[in-house]
Amino acid sequence: MATLNLASIEKKLNYRFQNPRLLQQALTHSSYAYEHLEASLKDNEILEFLGDSVVGLVLADYLHQVYPGLGEGQLSKLKAALVSTGSLSVLARKLGLDKAILLGRGEEKNGGRRKKSILAGTFEALIGAVYLDSSFDTARQVLQNLIKKYFKKLPRDNFLINNFKSALQEYLSQQKLPGPVYRTVTESGPAHEKVFTVEVCSGPEVLARARGLSKKSAEQKAAQKALKKLLKNKFKVFSEEAFILKPEEEQEDPPGWPEKKS
């Protein structure tokens, strides 16, 4: 492993490991450890397990403090958007983890460095490593600084957040229209780089069509297109799965939007 990668990651984290082996373990995927049994390497699965809990608690506490006016429902949706595989994989790439992960030959060949699940898991392992190397308070500070730095789209005031698929489901239900059905139209590309084209329908009507590197991603993009078409309302895309309605746009709900809980 290149020392430069480790130093670069520590610099971006603004944290220096007392035990560098924890950082190396956080970057060791199980596929690599399995292929190098003679080296008795520890993979990052236990660190990922710890990091998942640390990330969840830190973000819940952080969002509760930053947005005291949001109800439990909205806080849960915002937290879900931040801890989603897509959002955590973004943080992993910002830190350069995609270049530093140790992968087995098979996983490398299958495009493991681009897999969001691997990137998100590695990020959680990294936070777990910081926690074990220092303390919960230090891990909290490291993670909060990353959120403030890389998720600048978060508004300062109260707002409405939802993910595209859930919002489309809610809208169609409110309008007493058939619920959304997602169909894969085409699949193209090699096994490790497939591109999926998905369309979303309400009854016989095709609402939108979109492409993505996974069926889930394509479905979210299709739901996003459908919402723009149906709501005719400007909203701010927060992540590949979630959007935000700005405070000034909350004063009047879009047609058919579910009533906000007080």
| Torsion sign across C-alpha atoms 122, 127, 128, 133 | positive
Q: What is the 3-state secondary structure (H, E, C) of 11-53?
A: HHHCCCCCCHHHHHHHCECHHHHHHCHHHCCCCCHHHHHHHHH
Active site residue ranges: 52, 124
CA separation for the pair 129, 167 (Å, rounded): 36
Q: Would you state the structure tokens that stand for residue 85, as one six-digit string?
A: 């595989």
Query: SS3 of 240, please?
Result: coil
> In this structure, are residues 233 and 225 in contact, taking their beta carbons and an 8 Å threshold?
no
Contact in structure between 29 and 44 (CB atoms under 8 Å) = yes
- Residues 6 or more apart whose Cβ sits within 8 Å of residue 89: 116, 117, 119, 120, 123
